[in-house]
Amino acid sequence: MQTRIIGSVLPVLEIELQQGERVIGVAEQLSWLTGGVSLKTSLGGASAGGGLFGLVSRAVSGGGLVTTEFHADNGPGMVGLAAKLPGQIVELQVEGGGYVVHRHGFLCGSHGITVESALQQNLGASVFGGEGFVLQKIGGSGTAFVELGGEIIKYDLGAGQSIAVHPGHVGLFDAGVQFEMTSLSGVRSTFFASGDLFMARLTGPGRVWLQTLTLPGLAHAISHYLPKQG
């Protein structure tokens, strides 16, 4: 399997598969394919190595119940998966503890990659579309690709070193990094009308990837240009 990431603002991941190779991806982001690649869509993560538990956990974590296996059983070919939002696609070599990524971050992975729920917490109806704050854990062994929004800022945290981050800016972090949700009282904004500003506290050791584009921020920015209902 050979891969390349093309583009800068709205990148696409192209995967060249040889006879017999396969990769597990998110069906909604399939952009094009060539050659002998065929698709097998199934309920669950069994094809990715996650089994029934992987299927249930990924569904609960907001990642969607349906996964698609792209396999080159009829000869070599290529699969293209494009980003949904302006940002970057990051390649990860997964082994050991794995990684934790935001709810829509997982793009695809080689056979042996698992995706399951890491955290789901309600932050109020006005935050993240009322669906709460959700994280997914990417584990197993193999290569995975994740999508992060906007620009990426990396921090390598030492043991006991912490950083407080707006939840929407949490993109990806080593699974060994400690995570907890805290709140700051007396703050009022469009997203936190209750007066509490929720912050994610990440504590090392480990690396964190922060994303500058948040979905709530993007939705608020374009809401003034959308047709009003009623």
What confidence score (pLDDT) does residue 224 get? Answer: 80
**Residue whose token pair is 């939840």:** 167
Cα–Cα distance for residue pair 205/173, rounded to 1 Å: 10
Q: CB neighbours of 24 closer than 8 A, spacing ≥ 6?
A: 45, 47, 48, 67, 68, 69, 70, 108, 109, 110, 111, 113
- Of 113, 130, 112, the closest CA to residue 121 belongs to 130
Burial of 124 from C-beta contacts in 10 A (0-12 / 13-18 / 19+): middle
Cβ 1 vs Cβ 15: under 8 Å:
yes
What confidence score (pLDDT) does residue 120 get? Answer: 62
- Enter the CATH code of domain 2-223: 3.60.160.10
What confidence score (pLDDT) does residue 133 get? Answer: 73
What confidence score (pLDDT) does residue 195 get? Answer: 45
- Across the chain, the runs of DSSP E, i.e. the strands, are 2-6, 12-17, 22-25, 30-35, 38-43, 66-71, 77-82, 87-94, 99-102, 106-110, 113-121, 133-140, 142-149, 152-157, 162-165, 170-174, 178-185, 196-203, 206-211
Cα–Cα distance for residue pair 40/71, rounded to 1 Å: 8
From first to last of its 230 residues, what are the pLDDT tens digits of the chain? 999 999 989 999 999 999 999 998 888 889 999 999 998 876 554 334 444 444 445 555 555 546 788 999 889 999 999 998 899 999 999 998 899 999 889 999 998 898 888 776 555 444 444 455 789 899 999 999 999 999 999 999 999 999 999 988 999 999 999 999 887 665 555 544 444 578 899 999 999 999 999 877 777 778 788 887 65
Cβ 144 vs Cβ 87: under 8 Å:
no
Burial of 156 from C-beta contacts in 10 A (0-12 / 13-18 / 19+): exposed
What confidence score (pLDDT) does residue 178 get? Answer: 95
